[in-house]
Amino acid sequence: MKTLYISDLDGTLLSRDAEISEFTANTLNRLIENGMHFSIATARTYSTAVKILNKVNIQLPIIMMNGVVIFDLFKNKYLNTEKLDNQMAKEVIHLLKKHQIGGLMYTIKDDIMSTYFDNISTPYMREFMEHRQTQFGKVFIKSDSLLYECRDDTVYFSVLDIKEKLECALMDLKQIDGIHVEFYRDVYSDNMWEEELWFLEICDAKASKKSAVHYLREHYGFDQVVSFGDNLNDLPMFEESDESYAVANARVEVKSKATGCIESNVDDGVAKWLKKNGSITFIVGLINYSF
């Protein structure tokens, strides 16, 4: 049976410092070398995800931006991109302005992603941007208005702010037909801020970790999918999986939907589970072996 094993990054595969441990990297590389089909489904974009994954020899395309894009690491190309309708994107911009929320708008044209902002007034978003500029060389483009940049290549909006403030906008966003909204807690904010910070991320209704995992299942002929996660944005991926596992540090809502619970992200839970339970399939001559 051909199985896809797919893991979230932050809070699941990564440490508290947003890194892949040596144990996890070495374990995954041995398993992949011996034939395991392993990939990633993350909310991160190319500029941060690829650098974080540079120690792991992933052979399959990876899912990024909560399913908005599927990226081929070897061809350095987006295989699938779900773009927002231009009118819907403009509605989102007007709504965020109505609630006085400043965020980031992502576009993709000719396989090049651009990230725009116009009014970033909170220390949370400023720190978010500064960290990505410093650690990953991420480029953010200042615009007088996101409406000026809103064309047919908009794919994603992302905001980091206090939960209560974002909840007000969330109610209005749910009234816009044709969009998909993810709302989940930032797993790193406790290290810096007293407030509870959440991400509000908006994309086309066709985009989610569920639809992206389904794409990989269909295009690469997987018989089953086993997934790993910790946060609310992983629940759509769990829906598409035959088995799903929540790390010990996962939210209660995620654990309640999982097949089982494994060790935490800081204890290399995913790698340990795969080493013990993951099946490896390879072909010698005409004989198919699975372990």
What gap in Å lies between CA 95 and CA 170, rounded to an integer? 10
Domains 3-80+208-290 and 86-204 equal at CATH topology level? no
Cα 29 to Cα 33: distance, rounded to the nearest angstrom: 6
Mean per-residue pLDDT over the chain, rounded = 92
Out of 3.40.50.2000, 3.30.1240.10, 3.40.50.300, 3.90.1150.10, select the CATH number for domain 86-204. Answer: 3.30.1240.10
Distance CA 1, CA 224 (A): 8
Q: What is the CA radius of gyration of the chain?
A: 19
Name the residue ranges covered by the structural domains of the chain.
3-80+208-290, 86-204
User: What are the tens digits of pLDDT across the range 34-49?
Assistant: 999 999 999 999 999 9
- Eight-class DSSP state of 25: H
Confidence label for 189 from pLDDT (cuts 50, 70 and 90): confident
Tokens 């109505």: give the residue: 98
Q: How many helices (H) and strands (E) does the chain have?
A: 10, 16
Where does the chain have alpha helices with state H? 22-33, 46-52, 86-98, 123-136, 146-149, 163-173, 209-220, 235-240, 252-257, 269-277
Q: Residues 218-261: pLDDT tens digits? A: 999 999 999 999 999 999 999 999 999 999 999 999 999 999 99
Helix (H, G, I), strand (E, B) or coil at 259: coil
> pLDDT digit string (tens) for 226-238?
999 999 999 999 9
User: What is the rounded distance in angstroms from the CA atom of residue 246 to the CA atom of residue 270?
Assistant: 9
273 vs 268: CA distance, rounded Å: 9
Homologous superfamily (CATH) of 3-80+208-290 is HAD superfamily/HAD-like (3.40.50.1000)
For the cut 90, the answer to whether the pLDDT of residue 121 exceeds it is no
What is the pTM for the complete model shown?
0.92
Residue percentage of the chain with pLDDT more than 70: 95
Give the span between the Cα atoms of 92 and 187, in whole angstroms. 25
Tokens of 280: 């490896």
**Residues with Cβ < 8 Å from 166, sequence gap 6 or more?**
101, 159, 183, 198, 200
